[in-house]
Each structure stands twice: as C-alpha cells, then as structure tokens.
C-alpha cells in the first residue's frame, strides 16, 4: 500500500512539474494583466510571457521590451516588479515606503519591489536592499 501511495504521489508531482514554466503567446495573457501593464508601464509592450501552475492557479511572469519583469500571482495581482532600465512605477510603491525613501534616499531609483507575506523587499539603484513591514516601516537594510 505504501508503494502505491508513493507511486501516486510521484506521478502527481511529475504531472504538476510538466505544467511548470509554460511559454504563452502575449495575446493569451489574461486581460486584467494586460490592462495593468498598459496603465503602469506606459509606452512599454509585453515581449514574452510564461505561466506556472501554482497551488491556487496560474501565475504569470511577463517581460517587457525594456527588460522589466513583472510577476503576477494566481489572482493576477502583481507580486514582484524588477526593472532593468527604469525605476519601479511610483504608483506601485506603498505611500509609507515612498515617503521613507524620498526622505532618506532622494532621487535614488527603486529597481525592484517584491511583495512578501509580511511586507515588502525593495532594491535601490545604489545597491541597498531594504525590508519593510506590511505597514511600511523599515525593518532591515543591507548593502
């Protein structure tokens, strides 16, 4: 019985693994993700998209023509934005974090923002990595 159960679990894992990281045509990216990109990355276009089957549904990674990568969770809400050539759009940075950064690092671009279960990880163009809690208070800084 244990071998049968282990075999079943192994087959299920293989089936799920085969669904990982599927390239999808940009035109097949869900409409709400397309609208998000159009509203927050004006002038940029999607050049590549892939989806991954997560525990709650399809998650998407979208690459823009300037090298920006935006990751979306299964609810099609952005989870991570990593900018290669530009700064993370200000509209995506929670107000308390933006206030802190403007006061302490004026003019320094945010190159990456990542939502975590307990807050946000933010990378600056200067090389600093900052961790904020869900209320936007600085918890940690690393270079």
Give the mean pLDDT of 104-128.
97
pLDDT at 85 (0 to 100):
87
pLDDT at 36 (0 to 100):
98
The domain 22-142: what is its CATH number?
A: 3.40.1420.30
Query: Does residue 13 register a pLDDT over 70?
Result: no
124 CB-near residues (< 8 Å, 6+ apart): 101, 105, 108, 109, 110, 111, 130
Beta bridge pairs of residue 142: 129
Query: Does residue 23 register a pLDDT over 90?
Result: yes
Interatomic CA distance for residues 50 and 44, integer angstroms = 17
Q: How is the chain split into domains, by residue range?
A: 22-142
52 CB-near residues (< 8 Å, 6+ apart): 19, 20, 21, 22, 58, 59, 60, 61
Query: Does residue 19 register a pLDDT over 70?
Result: no
Query: Does residue 14 register a pLDDT over 50?
Result: no
> What's this model's pTM, rounded to 2 decimal places?
0.84
How many CB atoms are located within 10 Å of the residue 99 CB? 12
In the predicted model, what is the mean pLDDT of the chain?
90
Give the mean pLDDT of 70-85.
96
Q: For 118-129, what is each residue's pLDDT tens digit? A: 999 999 999 999
How many CB atoms are located within 10 Å of the residue 88 CB? 20
């Amino acid at each position: 019985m244990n071998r049968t159960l282990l075999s079943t679990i192994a087959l299920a894992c293989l089936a799920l693994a085969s669904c990982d990281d599927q390239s999808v045509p940009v035109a097949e990216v869900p409409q709400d993700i397309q609208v998000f990109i159009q509203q927050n990355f004006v002038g940029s276009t999607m050049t590549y998209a892939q989806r991954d089957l997560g525990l709650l549904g399809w998650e998407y990674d979208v690459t823009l023509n300037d090298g920006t990568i935006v990751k979306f969770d299964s609810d099609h809400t952005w989870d991570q934005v990593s900018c290669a050539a530009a700064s993370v759009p200000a509209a995506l940075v929670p107000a308390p974090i933006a206030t802190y950064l403007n006061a302490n690092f004026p003019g320094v671009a945010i190159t990456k923002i990542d939502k975590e279960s307990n807050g946000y990880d933010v990378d600056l163009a200067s090389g600093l990595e900052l961790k904020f809690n869900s209320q936007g208070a600085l918890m940690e800084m690393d270079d």
